[in-house]
């Protein structure tokens, strides 16, 4: 897990066959900003019916896989030379299920930040991030930056989605630590361009209806307004405490401005709407956290938010997260 007191030490770029190579350029800019090492990986997933194809073509299966590997390696070398001329970048081609091989490489190599181009939408449903990406969001132990092909390699506007409703959380300290990690990660990716970071919290006054129902008729409106104002003040205070708790470390992009932004509504709607309104180049959010009803960012909810976004996402795990693929 990336140390919250410093920037990344080794950034992994997952290469694809696009002309833009946005993920590679984003990874290179991030690595350069922090003096980190840069590695590149490309994945070859043989078709599940490769044995049948090889038999019908009269070819040896192992030889076909070797040819796929060699072709991918040649393409990878050509793209590295074209997009990062004169730069030595350690690279490797892996064969197998992409998310498994990427995560295994992250665990074995010590890479502490992953940048990948999001898979394009397909099928009748609009899912921005498809199977490999969803597995990485759920299982990769390090931050995963899912770029879109036409995105800026270096963002100008970053949203950090945080949940400051710690009093309604099952594990307040876990949630607080995750919030800090989200904000630290947002500052790091914003630092290369001096981008502004918005700390966005979606809040609601869950007991508004109860206050209205239980207050006397004459006082109901006044009591409800006072309740909503009190809830909002509590969230503002919690946001201030969170921002004050961040590590003041120049290597972590501490000079980057963070603007608190509290918007009433469900996270699924608020984050998508604010990303469009602010013209966000990337949204940073936690993907694993057990919280209460207020501002839930957990499991399928996080994935629903991500699938509704039209901009890139960086997914961050809490301290102590262990990938199910880590068998050490």
Tens-digit pLDDT profile for the chain (328 aa)? 555 446 899 999 999 988 899 999 999 999 999 999 999 999 998 878 877 777 777 788 888 888 889 999 999 999 999 999 999 999 999 999 999 999 999 999 999 999 999 887 554 344 445 578 888 988 899 999 999 888 888 999 999 999 988 776 667 788 888 899 999 999 999 988 888 999 999 988 665 556 555 666 657 777 777 777 888 898 999 999 999 988 665 455 556 789 999 999 988 899 999 999 999 999 999 886 444 434 434 456 677 787 778 889 999 988 888 888 887 6
Kind and range of the H or E run holding 252 = none
Task: Measure the CA–CA gap between 68 and 133, rounded to whole angstroms.
Answer: 22
Task: Measure the CA–CA gap between 28 and 192, rounded to whole angstroms.
Answer: 11
pLDDT at 4: 44
Instruction: Return the sign of the alpha-carbon dihedral for residues 261, 266, 270, 272.
Output: positive
DSSP secondary-structure letter at 166?
Answer: G
Instruction: Return the sign of the alpha-carbon dihedral for residues 162, 167, 171, 176.
Output: positive
Sheet holding 282-286, edge to edge: 91-95, 37-44, 10-14, 113-117, 144-147, 313-316, 282-286, 157-161, 196-203, 258-264
Place of tokens 């998508």: 272
Is the distance from CB of 189 to CB of 30 less than 8 angstroms? yes
Helix or strand or coil: residue 176? helix
Is the distance from CB of 248 to CB of 187 less than 8 angstroms? no
CA angle, 135 then 157 then 42, to 5°: 35
The CATH T-level fold of domain 155-320 is Rossmann fold (3.40.50)
> Which pair of structure tokens corresponds to residue 214?
């239980």
Is the distance from CB of 14 to CB of 116 less than 8 angstroms? yes
In this structure, the chain runs to a length of 328
> Which pair of structure tokens corresponds to residue 22?
């946005």
> Which pair of structure tokens corresponds to residue 292?
């209460």
Task: Measure the CA–CA gap between 16 and 119, rounded to whole angstroms.
Answer: 10
pLDDT at 288: 65
Instruction: Provide CATH 3.40.50.620 ranges for the chain.
Output: 1-154, 155-320
> Which pair of structure tokens corresponds to residue 166?
């710690």
Provide CB contacts within 8 A for 149, sequence distance 6+: 18, 20, 22, 117
| Helix runs in the chain, H state only | 22-34, 50-57, 61-83, 98-109, 131-139, 172-190, 208-214, 220-244, 267-278, 299-308
Kind and range of the H or E run holding 160 = strand 157-161
Strand 282-286 vs strand 313-316: parallel, antiparallel, or unpaired?
A: parallel
pLDDT at 309: 82
Helix or strand or coil: residue 217? coil
pLDDT at 175: 83
Closest C-alpha among 161, 163, 144, 158 to residue 189: 158
- CATH code at 1-154: 3.40.50.620
Q: Rounded to the nearest 10 degrees, what angle do helices 22-34 and 172-190 cross at? A: 100
pLDDT at 247: 67
């Amino acid at each position: 897990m990336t140390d919250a007191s410093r920037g990344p030490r080794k950034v992994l770029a997952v290469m694809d066959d696009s002309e833009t190579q946005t993920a590679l350029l984003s990874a290179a800019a991030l690595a350069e900003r922090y003096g980190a090492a840069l590695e590149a990986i490309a994945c070859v997933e043989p078709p599940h019916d490769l044995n049948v194809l090889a038999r019908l073509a009269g070819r040896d299966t192992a030889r076909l896989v070797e040819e796929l590997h060699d072709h991918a390696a040649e393409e990878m070398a050509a793209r590295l030379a074209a997009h990062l001329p004169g730069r030595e970048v350690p690279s490797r081609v892996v064969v197998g299920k992409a998310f498994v091989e990427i995560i295994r490489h992250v665990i074995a190599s010590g890479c502490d930040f992953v940048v990948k181009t999001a898979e394009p939408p397909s099928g009748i449903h609009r899912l921005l991030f498809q199977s490999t990406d969803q597995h990485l969001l759920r299982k990769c132990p390090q931050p995963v930056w899912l770029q879109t092909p036409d995105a800026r390699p270096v963002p100008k506007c970053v949203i950090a989605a945080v949940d400051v409703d710690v009093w309604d959380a099952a594990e307040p300290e876990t949630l607080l630590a995750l919030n800090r990690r989200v904000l630290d990660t947002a500052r790091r990716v914003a630092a290369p361009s001096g981008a502004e970071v918005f700390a966005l919290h979606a809040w609601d006054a869950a007991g508004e209806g109860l206050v209205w129902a239980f207050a006397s008729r004459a006082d109901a409106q006044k009591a409800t307004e006072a309740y909503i104002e009190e809830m909002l003040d509590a969230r503002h205070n919690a946001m201030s405490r969170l921002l004050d708790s961040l590590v003041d470390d120049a290597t972590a992009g501490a000079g980057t401005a963070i603007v608190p932004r509290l918007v009433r509504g469900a996270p699924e709607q608020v984050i998508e709407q604010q990303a469009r309104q602010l013209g966000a180049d990337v949204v940073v959010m936690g993907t694993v956290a057990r919280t209460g009803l207020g501002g839930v960012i957990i499991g399928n909810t996080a994935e629903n938010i991500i699938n509704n976004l039209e901009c890139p996402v960086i997914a961050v795990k809490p301290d102590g997260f262990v990938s199910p693929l880590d068998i050490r």
